[in-house]
Structure 1
């Protein structure tokens, strides 16, 4: 895939709700043919219907990303319908909110298998398609939690950190073989999606994203940017940048701050959140989900940080020009 490609075929795992569906909608709006992979047929059908008037531009396939053979078959079904895959997005995710010692072995393993091994399986299938053509981009959707582990989310934190390390290793291997296949990582902040309604909970209260919360369309924009610009990493939101910097510069302080404020900021007793509960750790959800969760009133739809990231070359040029003008003014000032 060239760095300026504006259309093609994109395959998205976990594409029937939340960030995955929002990303699918954005790619479809920009003229891409979209393939969606998820576990539930009803949700997939509803997602496909929402994407485009032309049914030939959308294909769906059922698979659990923990099953590599099923994922490979799902990809083959979509590719047969739409053509060779140009962009593969590993987005599927589940979680359990609980103190580590209150989480069962099965729950911990399931989160790890979906979030981490699902990414491994998806990357393997994508590379099988892309390496022979020496073209394509894989986008792994990580999290701010991949920059700093968070209490109540030990399994999810560990899986996202594993995803990050895995991606770095495979990227280096591709560079070593001079491959033109590119791997990018996107780090979303807290996002208003059904993720929190779907998560298993072993806590006092109900799971919620710690503020500030952003809308999924913003993350979809970042994923599309990562896929088409071939940027190595794309962080979304000032919260994500600050969390990564804090953990790099003062990890002990991060420990104390998250111990004090983390659990309180991640639980709620709101009835609207309770009404939206539909756990999906071990089974597909029983409802057709949307892109948004129950946090629209507080969610932000813009990020100055993401805008600056996308316009980095222009900002650099503007700053350089501004510095040059200031320098000329200083030099030319009468003495």
Structure 2
């Protein structure tokens, strides 16, 4: 790939996407930014430029495949051939399944899953003929181990993994040099918990431990720049525990999360049913990359650093962590 990368990021106006844009800006990359919120995108673009990068924006809803294709064409014209395409845009609904509406499941699926499909297709149309490039999917610990109250979000993250596994097989079959990578994220301090739609009595929060978005963003940049990326990266100790724990004793985790998952996802502050949410339209925010949990968030993860060169060490740590979770459950 060329020395100066052209990177496209969906969901780039806030949270993890904005933090990722900052990290690529520091490398001097040409960064294409996509989201529905144009003013926030322009603010992100200014930050990228101040950090040393080049930035361009395109307002689009990733659930619209034609809009995503138009964004890709626009970025190639303005910034050059795309080297890295990062699928990150998401929405969610915090609610018991029995209270969900079919339209909500459909909307979350169209953004979180089909949005990734649309981005990947637009990307492949350009990368395959050039026989180079990298597609990075922002995954989650919840892509492997689902939790209560976020069924729509968890289901889409599972779907992304299945889609990407199939894509890798086809790229190998075609002997393509294009790579597909998934980076599984832990709970992070992003603004989504201020604008997510929720039917919970109290304000939503990420399940502790919480990490600052820069922790995940740095792993994304590593996955983009390394000459031999891993097929998956696991960010944060909680992600390692969730993935390994699901492989070893999923039934125990069903019980454990049934007991703890409701309280763990709520603050001690009442929510309002009239609070604006971003399921159907963007919600303006001045929070940028970070949410309201800075005092509770971790700025570093040993597991994230090790994951860049993961081997049996991380697997062993995951087994130990999962065993401790099981012990905690069985002691109740």
SS of 2:22 mapped into structure 1: helix
User: Per-residue deviation at 1:286?
Assistant: 2.8
From 2, 5, 15, give the equivalent of 1:8.
5
User: Per-residue deviation at 1:262?
Assistant: 0.7
Q: How many equivalent residue pairs?
A: 309
User: Per-residue deviation at 1:312?
Assistant: 4.8
SS of 1:69 mapped into structure 2: helix
Partner of 2:204: 207
* 8 A Cα contact 1:34 1:58, kept in partner: yes
Is 1:261 the equivalent of 2:245? no
User: Per-residue deviation at 1:270?
Assistant: 3.6
User: Per-residue deviation at 1:49?
Assistant: 1.2
From 28, 31, 34, give the equivalent of 2:28.
31
Partner of 1:241: 240
Partner of 1:216: 213
From 174, 181, 188, give the equivalent of 1:184.
181
Aligned CA RMSD, in angstroms, stands at 1.9
Partner of 1:100: 97
SS of 1:186 mapped into structure 2: strand
SS of 2:62 mapped into structure 1: coil
Partner of 1:326: none
User: Per-residue deviation at 1:196?
Assistant: 1.3
Could you list the runs of 5+ residues in structure 1 that have no partner in the other structure?
Answer: 317-335
User: Per-residue deviation at 1:54?
Assistant: 8.9
* 8 A Cα contact 1:193 1:294, kept in partner: yes
CA distance in 2, matches of 1:55, 1:221: 16
Tell which deviates more after alignment, 101-110 or 290-299. Answer: 101-110
User: Per-residue deviation at 1:76?
Assistant: 1.1
From 285, 288, 293, give the equivalent of 1:287.
285
What's the TM-score once normalised by structure 1's chain length?
Answer: 0.88
SS of 1:191 mapped into structure 2: coil
Q: Which has the larger radius of gyration?
A: 1
Tell which deviates more after alignment, 48-57 or 131-140. Answer: 48-57
CA distance in 2, matches of 1:95, 1:54: 31
Within 5 Å, give how 1:81-96 maps onto structure 2: 81-96=78-93
What's the TM-score once normalised by structure 2's chain length?
Answer: 0.89
CA distance in 2, matches of 1:103, 1:84: 42
